[in-house]
Structure 1
Amino acid sequence: MNCAKRAQVGLVRIVNVACGGHLMYSLNPKDSMLVLHENVTASPYLGASTIEAQEGVAIEIAEAVVGALKGELAASAVNAPMVPAEVLSELAPFVLLAEKLGKLTMQLVAGGSGMQSVKITYASCRGQDDLNTRLLCAMITKGMIEPISSVFVNLVNTDFTAKWRGLKITEERIVLDGSPEKPLERVTPPDGLPHLTMVGSFGVDVSLEGHLTLCEQVDKPGIIGKVGSILGVRNMNVNFMIVGRIAPQKHAVMTIGVDGEPDTESLKQIGEIQAIEEFCFP
């Protein structure tokens, strides 16, 4: 019996029906009928009952609060989507990726203007019932909502904030079994950082670290040079540039990495290039 921190009421009745178990009591009675009962095993309440324990609990709580305010995962949170430690270690590489993809999603749809629903698809060799995606879904939602929200968004209020904004989040799980329709493919980035491999139907391979500019454009000569010149005049160093396309001289996606954040004038000039239909700076 785990009764309470306060003094128990009706001890005689409890003793009469006692048939074993554990009891916590508010004081340390020496001659209590409960303690002396042969079918009762009594133990003191161990909720930080010593000065050392109280100090340890206080430090642990303070560290958890500071971590949560920084946006870190709080293992002891009761109202956040948490997962077992062994599952968390498996999902850890995808947590940062999920948040960055959420931010990128909002940029790709004109800052989320008018967006009413988002569908998240997970492809894994794990069975549908064996794939815990609560944390990943929360991180994607956080990444989408945080840039356009006037309130602080964290793992606790992501669902509420999404519903308040009228945004419906749905999930789909696809089990990859190695068949031609659902092939297995393992991609390991050499730098160990989150990578973006597809934008729509366009294949790319870029790290999501640092400053990126994505341009949807007509694939024609001179576009790369024009964008590079605009950034160069502003002393913005381009560290990589990748173009994903399906066929020559058709639509393409150009991904540009720069060492710093482009200023407003640079972005304006890039947007004025005739062949560039849409671009974003996530």
Structure 2
Amino acid sequence: MWKVLITDKLAQEGIDIINAAEGFEAVVKTGISEDELASIIGEYDGLIIRSGSKVTAKVLANPGKLKGVARAGVGVDNIDVKEATRKGILVMNTPGGNTLSAAEHTMALMLAMSRNVVPACNSLKAGAWDRKKYTGNQLNHKVLGLIGLGRIGMAVAQMARGFNMKVLGYDPLAAPKDAEQQGVEVTDDIERIFKESDFISLHVPRNEQTLNMIGTKQFEMMKPTVRLVNCARGGIINEEALYDALASKRIAAAALDVFSSEPPENIRFAELDNCLVTPHLGASTEEAQVEVAVEAAEILLDAIKGGPIKNALNAPSTGGAMPPMVSRYAELARRVGALLSTIAPGNIKGIEVQYRGAIAAMDVEPVTLGFLMGLLQQHFEMPLNMVNTPVLAKERGISIDETKNAEAKDVASSFSAKVVTTKGTRAVTGSVFGERLLRIIEIDGFNIEMTPQGAVLVIFNDDKPGVIGAVGTVCGKHGINIGTMGVGQKLEEHKAILAVSLDKEPDAEAVAELGKLDFVNEIYVCTL
């Protein structure tokens, strides 16, 4: 008998699916402590949670029979995914279950703002009858600017088209190939969203790229009549800048379903009539709760029975089953992808990878997937792996042209990747020396040798004397130690590149000071 433990409130439909499956039993124990969960978890083959339970390293210390954890929802902040992976336990979520609920809540907030539903309701309940004061605006023919064109963003686009809105879409990664066919005008210039939109709705994860994406500078670009909706993640809009924009009537209104900290510490929004707030209700519909419960039950049953694995956020390590060369090149490719995700800004338009030499004669699918994982990770909150990366890439219309050439060039084996974006093209080549040493040997045609590990600084610069000394001086001033340094030149163009591995990532002040050096054309920092 396989037993599945459920430690948070779950729709009965999900529980019924488990109990109806042959050889399965659902055991519901809600509200248990971390210590109690840790003491009993090894007795169960599967675990289903929502946001209340914490699956910590302590809980996973003695996992016993546990094969998988399913989160009935999207976020996995309450699961130690790294520890689960180390213990060979699958972690799965249900990203599609709340799509329509979140999209509908977005539309509900847009309508509530445009028609002054909440203040008008409160006014009438207080005994007033002030129709003129609460005259609203139609959605018809208004421009909706969508930032993020994933599942929820595209669902909002479809609904907005039903209101005859013009939809302008931007995605920091890549827009779905059929976005234009679905009535979305795709732009790679996010400032168009700020300048042209009557409504702006956010549908991107919170990460380094999107944190404080909208602040004072962006509010200054917007129409004074614009209305903002955030049903994605708190922190994407700078809350202090938003408060100032609303209080000064720089923008017309905003509706927030998410906050930087929840419950929100900043309650000043309660003072503003032009700010509508809800307590993270995007996925809070009866239908969504049923869908995520059913999906969580189904994917967990499949995983326990050894069937197809769906929505996995991790995967048991397959490193031991790979040939050592493939395993090392997969890790090299992941780091090359992470480097390119930093030095190749813009929306992805095309990707090419090439294998040369001995590696070209092997099964390189894990290497290509490793590259994609590194390239895309910063655009997703969930950990990417060989299970979910191909699905997420396909959703965004991202494909890779792969070529193999058994003839070696310069080194015995190499992996090269070229990424074409809306802002240009970048190419990186790497190799593995002595079966274990990972090296970057070329960036954008510059021959260079760099160790792709830890904090890395890449500077595209004018080829002139004093570059190395000046960079070293600034790093030393800020207490940053240089590990390895690679220099490449294009003498005929008077251009050069400097790639430096550092003992720690430079802070914004150090990067700004480096960027002011007169020879610097472009500067990038990433951690590999």
Task: Name which of 420, 445, 460 aligns with 1:201.
Answer: 445
Cα pair 1:81 1:156 within 8 Å, conserved? no
Give the 3 Å change call, closer, same or farther, for CA 265–200 of structure 1 in structure 2. Answer: same
1:213/1:70 Cα in 2 relative to 1: closer, same or farther (>3 Å)?
A: farther
Task: Give the RMSD, CA atoms, in angstroms.
Answer: 3.8
Distance 1:188 1:163, change over 3 A: closer
Q: Deviations over 1:182-211 (max 9, x none)?
A: 676367647933111111211111211222
Out of 487, 495, 499, which is 1:251 matched to?
495
**CA–CA distance in structure 1, aligned partners of residues 523 and 350 of structure 2:** 22
Q: For 1:203-218, list aligned pairs within 5 A.
A: 203-218=447-462
| Cα 1:184/1:96, change in 2 over 3 Å | closer
Q: Give the Cα separation in 2 of the matches to 1:192 and 1:219.
A: 33
Instruction: Using the TM superposition, give the Cα deviation of residue 247 of structure 1 relative to its aligned residue in structure 2, in angstroms.
Output: 2.0
After superposition, the Cα gap between the structure-2 partners of 1:172 and 1:189, relative to the gap in structure 1 and judged at 3 Å, is closer
Q: In structure 2, how many angstroms separate the alpha carbons of the residues matched to 1:252 and 1:71?
A: 42
Question: Which residue of structure 2 lines up, in the alignment, with residue 236 of structure 1?
Answer: 480
- What is the rounded CA distance, in whole Å, between the counterparts of 2:319 and 2:486 in structure 1? 39
Equivalent of residue 108 in structure 1, options 312, 320, 343: 343
Q: 2:307 & 2:324 partners in 1: Cα distance?
A: 17
Q: How many angstroms does 1:219 deviate by?
A: 0.8
In the alignment, structure 1 residue 185 sits paired with structure 2 residue 429: no
Unpaired runs of at least 5, structure 1: 1-53
Match of 1:262 in 2: 506
Distance in 1, matches of 2:509 and 2:524, equals 14
Question: Partners in 2 of 1:260 and 1:90 — Cα distance?
Answer: 29
Contact 1:219/1:248 (CA < 8 Å) preserved in 2? no
Report the 3-state secondary structure (helix = DSSP H, G, I; strand = E; otherwise coil) of the residue aligned with 2:352: strand
Q: Which moved more, 1:99-108 or 1:240-249?
A: 240-249
Structure 1 partner of 2:200: none
CA distance in structure 2 between the partners assigned to 1:84 and 1:263 by the alignment: 35
The C-alpha deviation readout for 1:14-42, integer Å capped at 9, x for no partner, is: xxxxxxxxxxxxxxxxxxxxxxxxxxxxx
Residue of structure 2 in register with 1:134 after alignment = 365
Greater Cα offset, 162-171 or 240-249: 240-249
Q: Find the counterpart in structure 2 of residue 16 from structure 1.
A: none
The DSSP-based 3-state class of the residue aligned with 1:168 is coil
**Equivalent pair of 2:67/2:88 in contact (CA under 8 Å):** no
Q: Find the counterpart in structure 1 of residue 522 from structure 2.
A: 278
Distance of aligned partners of 1:106 and 1:69 in 2 relative to their CA distance in 1, 3 Å threshold? farther
Cα deviations by residue, 1:111-155 (Å, 9 ceiling, x for unpaired) = xx21122111111346x6x53121111111010110122333221
Say whether the 8 Å CA contact 1:243–1:253 is kept in structure 2.
yes
Residue 170 of structure 1 aligns with which residue? Answer: 401
Structure 1's 203 and 183: CA in aligned 2 closer, same or farther, altered over 3 A? closer
Distance 1:273 1:78, change over 3 A: farther
| Change in CA separation of 1:256 and 1:184 when aligned onto 2, cut-off 3 Å | closer
Secondary structure, in 3 states, of the residue corresponding to 1:268?
helix
Conserved? CA contact 1:193–1:208, under 8 Å: no
2:314 aligned with 1:93? no
Change (3 A) 1:248 1:223: farther
The percentage of counterpart residues that share the same residue type is 20
Distance in 2, matches of 1:132 and 1:73, equals 24
What residue is the counterpart of 2:29 in the other structure?
none
Counterpart CA distance in 2 for 1:220 and 1:207 is: 24
Instruction: Quote the offset at 1:271 in angstroms.
Output: 1.8
Gaps (5+ residues) in structure 2? 1-44, 46-62, 69-79, 90-305, 310-314, 414-430
Distance 1:73 1:249, change over 3 A: farther
Q: TM-score, normalised by structure 2?
A: 0.36
Distance 1:183 1:108, change over 3 A: closer
- Structure 2 distance, partners of 1:66, 1:274, is 44
